[in-house]
Amino acid sequence: MADPAGFVSITKPITHVIFDMDGLLLDTEKFCNEVQEIILGRYNKSFNWNVKVKMLGKKALEAARIFVEETGISEFLSAEQFLIDREDMLQVLFPKSELMPGAGRLMRHLHAKGIPICLATSSHKRHFEIKTQRHRELFSLLHHVVLGDDFEVKHGKPSPDIFLAAAKRFEDGPIDPGNILVFEDSPSGVLAAKRAGMSVAMVPDPRLDKGFQKLADQVFNSLLDFNPVEWGRRSQPAVVDLTLEKKFALFLQLRHAMANLSGVVSVRRPITHVVFDMDGLLLDTEKFYTEVQEKILARYNKTFDWTLKAKMMGKKAIESARIFVDETGISDSLSPEQFLVEREDMLQSLFPTSELMPGASRLVKHLHAKGVPIAVATGSHRRHFELKTQRHHEIFSLMHHIVLGDDPEVKQGKPSPDGFLAAAKRFEGGPVDPCNVLVFEDAPSGVLAAKNAGMSVVMVPDPRLDKSFHDAADQVLNSLLDFNPSEWALPPFEDNAS
């Protein structure tokens, strides 16, 4: 099953299969390209593959917004008008849709062998019916179909919504994502499946940059190349242990490929809400953990270093404890549970002395005074939170809400997005669109969690942290004192006080 960062370790047998449709089962992408080239021709613009990549797998309106903004025609044509213009032409073309090579063979084979199969497509109901009208027999083999206008699909790919909805609707569902294999052709679809915790076989367009293939578990030129037997072998336990550094490397390869395509400008959405991490960001508590952990390791003639510290930061207590005893080689002498008990005794006396980090008070008070909704999402559990904040009730009372590590909605710690998604949901009028949320973090796992949630991130790392961890953040600061709200279209500071 995929780990919280979205990188798969295949330990479970594949029992269910989910297919994307456009460009994977049906050769429909060429119709969209043809129509979009015609529309752009009116404005003396050309349609290129870089824009196409950004649109792949998205809901219709999301793709339309990308199209008019990235091609520079938004002043002349709204996203909604683009959809109307495009629709008239597509109505004629979609009924001609042909199956992609190997699609019929694979679907019939899996169905005949009793493997439950379904479809998860961004196409809405009307388009689905037009595209599939020549292939009703084949699509009747699917257990169910989840469409882009389904009520459970709040966000399009790369959000995992559509794949999680598909997993839920199988007989005896929801099915464990670790038992599901997804077939996809688009980068956003691959990322959506990985975020859902599923394995992915990718059949990309040959023009697609190979950097997009990094997150897929297997890549084919065609569905004709897929060998089901290989996935029988893959179901045997063979855990791939990816370090945090490797996760960052893969994440950055995909991010850079998506964000820095030649000639494509990234459009930043307006920030309306802010979520803060706590430990090491608002409160200077990380030094206490370091101090206590150094004392524990000294008994075993071991030393505590920053490589290990980086892996533990932002995690739930038991997760960081497992990392600690395993990475330091003391697991034979000290269990994670015993480590937590010993550490707890020492931390109880230190946490009440916690100080605010430089600039924390000023920024929190400023955002609150200007009416910007703010919240905290921390890996700390309730007892620790109360100890750490007991001298700072005034500051923390300004938060709209606080999501703790032992919150029932936080199933997995960072780098899973659970904490940040729960925080976005609880704002007034929530859930707030993740694109409108700015997160402040100090930990690499926290930065990844925010990016996995689809949010922007300002990182304020410890100076001892390796700079390779900085690249995933949207902005890196030495201190909260350096943050300029105006750069994020937030209300500016009215003075220079610290």
Same domain assignment for residues 210 and 165: yes
Same domain assignment for residues 137 and 195: yes
Domain total in the chain: 3
- Determine which of 109-123, 227-241, 324-338 has the lowest per-residue pLDDT on average: 227-241
In a domain, 407, yes or no: yes
Same domain assignment for residues 135 and 185: yes
Position 279 scores a pLDDT of 94
Same domain assignment for residues 128 and 205: yes
With 90 as the cut, is the pLDDT of residue 435 above it? no
pLDDT in tens, 53-101: 778 766 678 888 889 998 999 888 888 888 888 888 888 898 999 999 9
In a domain, 298, yes or no: yes
- Determine which of 36-45, 152-161, 258-267, 424-433 has the lowest per-residue pLDDT on average: 258-267
Catalytic residues: 277, 279
Residue 232: other Cβ atoms inside 10 A: 11
Same domain assignment for residues 340 and 436: no
Q: What is the CATH number of the domain that holds 444?
A: 3.40.50.1000
With 80 as the cut, is the pLDDT of residue 261 above it? no
Domain membership of residue 187 as a residue range? 1-241
Same domain assignment for residues 233 and 193: yes
With 90 as the cut, is the pLDDT of residue 448 above it? no
Same domain assignment for residues 358 and 321: no
Q: Check: CB of residue 392 under 8 Å from CB of residue 328.
A: no
Quote the pTM value. Answer: 0.52
Q: How far apart are CA 437 and CA 456, in angstroms?
A: 6
In a domain, 92, yes or no: yes
Q: Please state the rounded mean pLDDT for residues 321-340.
A: 90
Q: Which of 333, 353, 373 is the last residue of a domain?
A: 353
pLDDT in tens, 202-222: 999 887 777 777 778 899 999
Read off the tokens for 331. Answer: 């697991």
How far apart, in Å, do the first and last CA atoms of the chain sit? Answer: 46
Q: Check: CB of residue 214 under 8 Å from CB of residue 254.
A: yes
Same domain assignment for residues 202 and 58: yes
Q: Please state the rounded mean pLDDT for residues 297-309.
A: 87
- How would you class 421 by CB atoms within 10 Å of its CB: exposed for 0-12, middle for 13-18, buried for 19 or more? buried
Q: What is the CATH number of the domain that holds 317?
A: 1.10.150.240
Position 497 scores a pLDDT of 45
In a domain, 84, yes or no: yes
Q: Which of 305, 320, 353 is the last residue of a domain?
A: 353
Same domain assignment for residues 125 and 150: yes
Nearest to 289 by CA among 375, 395, 384: 384
With 70 as the cut, is the pLDDT of residue 232 above it? no
Same domain assignment for residues 366 and 338: no
